[in-house]
A and B are shown apart, each in its own frame.
Chain A
Amino acid sequence: MDTVIDRGAPKARNFEPYASNGGSIVAISGKDFVIVASDTRLSEGYMIYTRKQSKLFQLSDKSVLGCTGCWCDTLSLTNIIQSQLKSYLHDHNTIMQPGSIAQLLSTLLYSRRFFPYYVYNVLAGLNENGEGCLYSYDPVGHCEKVSYTAGGSSGVLMQPFLDSWLGKRTVDSPVSEEEALNLVKDAFTAAGERDIYTGDEVVYNIIKKDGIKSGVVQLRKD
């Protein structure tokens, strides 16, 4: 039998402009708070670049952006947002509200519709009334207001877990800050067990009226 198989003869290496650098994000919003968390492992292939790279970017004292995916795109995107917000602040002498940032981010992402920022975004903030609000994005700028979300390399592992506990919550039984934090920690613990790109540490930001509280939880290091 003639089995001619392409054994992958040496070819010119093609340039691949994207890399998948792993990492996950979980965010839960409540009545007067919003919590957003990311792991701190930055990796590519089977290699860990660093164990302490937070993927949370503070945009103002009321909003934090979580970004994972292609790290070089993440860096660029967050730089652009931050400089835009700075000029907004200087133009209007007020910080931009999360709802406006959400629209700005969507526009920025869509501006690269055919060479996208390969980034999964979650924007967490407190709106004008001090309520937690959360926006979840796809890489080309589709924006959805949600009450909780999980994304990144372990998004598909953590989202069903959140669904099963938060999916049927009504206005009468809102999620408490403590419960939300526990869910976030446990979602990451479970994801760290099964996803090779999630691990090392979790950093979380709890945004409330009186400021942003942050903390670190240890995950598996292997």
Chain B
Amino acid sequence: MEMKQHNWIPGNFKSVPDIGRSAQNDSVQHGWTPITTTTSVLGVVFDNGVALAADTLTSYGSMACFQNNPRILTVNKNIIVAASGEYSDFQFIRDAVEEKVRTEISLNDGISMKPKALYTWLSRVLYNRRTKMKPLWSTFLVAGIQNDEPFLGQIDKLGTAFVDEQIACGYGAYLALPLLRKGIEEKREKSNSKLTKEEAVDLLKKCMEVLYYRDARSHDKYQIGVVTKDSVEVLDLALKPTWEVAKLVQGYE
């Protein structure tokens, strides 16, 4: 990865990481297709933090290519980021983010990036690339603690960015998001409060199981990243799926 070094100021409007030839005379290349892909990422806000879940599978077309490819990135003490979509684009952004963090550390002023800053930066980078018709074919979930408040946002390959209490991308937006919304809603109705950390993690585990049953590009090994005011942790987990129902399906008529 090469960052444009000249006049680079962190957060500069026009200095976004870029690769390849310039888009100036680029009238031919329009379709970029994701090649090595990852599937859903789920995120949920709980009372004093945020949890993200993503499996560790990277697919090459329909082949389950790399089965131990983590994609929850611990940025610093209060941000985690996860991506779905083209894996190389995630790696490119990961390198850029790590560069940013290194720059920050070397300043040694005790100030570190907050999640909203990274969220906005990512939205500018992705929007910039879509405007050049050279998109980074990935969707990012940014989770962290912003001024003692949990923060969760999503940015997609166009630069469409929004913040919510529960977010899922990829297939998870169809399969898991209803469960996440319902889980949060039920808790709010029952006790007028947010989920606890344990409840949030259990909810994510349930969603990952449903995704494993129904998303053909998903995997039974996954990670859950949890960020709270005091800690960042990424857990490695494996599902214990049950296929009892298969016995009930006999024939087709």
What residues of chain A have their CB less than 8 Å away from a CB belonging to chain B?
12-15, 17-19, 21, 42, 44, 47, 49-53, 70-72, 75-76, 115
Contacts and interface: CB of A to CB of B under 8 A. Distances in A.
Contacts of A115: 131
A13 B159 contact: no
Given A47-B173, A50-B164, A52-B164, A17 B33 contact: no
Given A47-B173, A115-B131, A14 B160 contact: no
Contacts of B164: 49-52
A15 B132 CA distance: 11
A71 B130 contact: no
Max chain A CB contacts within 10 Å: which of B133, B159, B177? B159
Contact of A72 (B34, B159, B167, B173): B159
B196 to A, nearest CB: 22
B21 interface: no
B115 to A, nearest CB: 17
Interface string B115-157: 0000000010001001101010000000000000000001000
B243 interface: no
A94 B174 CA distance: 48
Which one of B158, B162, B167 has the highest number of Cβ atoms from chain A below 10 Å of its Cβ?
A: B158
A20 B131 CA distance: 16
A12 B33 contact: yes
B31 A14 contact: yes
Contact of B158 (A17, A42, A47, A52): A17
A72 B160 contact: yes
Interface string B174-187: 10010000000000
Interface string B225-244: 00000000000000000000
Q: What are the 9 closest A-B residue pairs judged by CB atoms, nearest first? A: A72-B159, A14-B31, A50-B164, A72-B158, A72-B160, A71-B160, A12-B33, A12-B31, A13-B33
B32 interface: yes
Contacts of B167: 50
A15 B173 contact: no
A17 B161 contact: no
Nearest to A74: B160
A70 to B, nearest CB: 8
Nearest to A76: B127
B162 A42 contact: yes
Given A47-B173, A75-B123, A75-B127, A15 B162 contact: no
B30 interface: yes
Interface of B: 30-34, 123, 127, 130-131, 133, 135, 154, 158-164, 167, 173-174, 177
30 contacts: A12-B33, A13-B34, A14-B30, A14-B31, A15-B32, A15-B133, A15-B135, A17-B130, A17-B135, A21-B160, A42-B162, A47-B173, A47-B177, A49-B154, A49-B160, A50-B163, A50-B164, A50-B167, A51-B164, A52-B164, A53-B162, A70-B158, A71-B161, A71-B162, A72-B130, A72-B161, A75-B123, A75-B159, A76-B127, A115-B131
B162 A13 contact: no
A50 B162 contact: yes
B97 to A, nearest CB: 20
Nearest to B29: A15
Nearest to B130: A17
A70 B160 CA distance: 8
Given A47-B173, A52-B164, A76-B127, A13 B158 contact: no
Contacts of B162: 42, 49-50, 53, 71
Nearest to A18: B158
B131 to A, nearest CB: 7
B133 A17 contact: yes
Contacts of A12: 31, 33
B116 to A, nearest CB: 13
**Interface centre among A21, A49, A52, by most B CB within 10 Å?**
A49
B42 to A, nearest CB: 14
Contacts of B127: 72, 75-76
Nearest to A46: B174
